Amino acid sequence: MDKKPVPTHVGIIMDGNGRWAKAHGVPRVMGHNAGMQSMKKIVIATSNMGIKYLTVYAFSTENWKRSTEEVSGIFNLIVKYVNSELEELDENNVHINIFGQYDMLPKASIDAIDKMVGRLADNDGLVFNIALNYGGRDEILRSVRKLCEECRDGSRDPADLTEDDISKYLWSGSANFDVPDPDLIIRTSGEERISNFLTWQSAYSELMFTDTLWPDFTPEEYASMIEAYANRDRRFGGREEAETK
């Protein structure tokens, strides 16, 4: 891996916790707990491979449709994760951003997230983005509304708007985030769609899918996918050099 290029930014749709729990005959929240352990390993592996940005899909705007028990269990795991991993994240110089309106979560979860984000704010190692109460279309709508407000008050001319203006008001461009678009998006559990994840930002992302359920996704399989990425030819809508001659 040292001699091959690695992506700057990887996005992961962590899918399969529920199916893992069903296969093991345990409550769904236990599947999410197992998924949290997998996430911890992948965060470490990401940093070790020299990847600068990692964004994981933790809770979508659509996940509120799940049972109250499951949703509450997920939020309790957020508190557990912060309490158990904060010291190690800080020691490893990890910086955390939250993509999404997490102020709608229970107060205990909000307090834990605020504690984590504040503690790690000055770190300049791996930038770990957690998409929480996040939806890609909602994010685009949020950006467009802000631009409409600026056009309405006369500070912008609609005719001069660019793609960069929209990107600026996405979660990835907000405040001091300035997170580049993902080079690679991985989805576990056999589903082959992006499910409203980084909808705008993933326009030219490489996509990879695996049948492995998220709790069973190992750093070794992750590394093999990163190596496969290094062998892909990314043309961003252009043509191969041989074709242009």
Model pTM score: 0.92
**Residue 172, domain member (yes or no):** no
The CATH number covering residue 128 comes to 3.40.1180.10
157 included as an active-site residue: no
**Residue 191, domain member (yes or no):** yes
**Residue 162, domain member (yes or no):** no
Asked whether 198 and 182 are in contact (CB, 8 A), the reply is yes
Q: Number of folded domains in the chain?
A: 1
Residue-wise pLDDT for 54-90, tens only, equals 999 999 999 999 999 999 999 999 999 999 999 999 9
Q: How confident is the model at residue 242 (pLDDT cuts 50, 70, 90)?
A: low
Residue type, 116: M
Domain extent, residue 60, equals 9-135+180-233
**Residue 150, domain member (yes or no):** no
Token pair in block for residue 238: 């252009």
**Residue 121, domain member (yes or no):** yes
Terminal-to-terminal C-alpha distance of the chain: 32
Of 2, 15, 153, 216, the active-site residue reads 15
Mean pLDDT for all residues in the chain: 93
**Residue 92, domain member (yes or no):** yes
Residue-wise pLDDT for 114-172, tens only, equals 999 999 999 999 999 999 999 999 999 999 999 999 999 999 999 999 999 999 999 99
97 included as an active-site residue: no
Predicted pLDDT at 4: 74
**Residue 87, domain member (yes or no):** yes
Asked whether 183 and 229 are in contact (CB, 8 A), the reply is yes
| Chain centroid to CA 18 | 19
Of 63, 76, 92, 123, the active-site residue reads 63
Residue type, 175: A
Predicted pLDDT at 229: 97
Q: How confident is the model at residue 178 (pLDDT cuts 50, 70, 90)?
A: confident
Strand locations in the chain, DSSP E?
Answer: 9-13, 53-60, 95-99, 127-134, 184-187, 206-209
Residue-wise pLDDT for 191-224, tens only, equals 999 999 999 999 999 999 999 999 999 999 999 9
Characterise 16 by phi-psi region: left (phi > 0), alpha (psi -120 to 50), beta (else). Answer: left
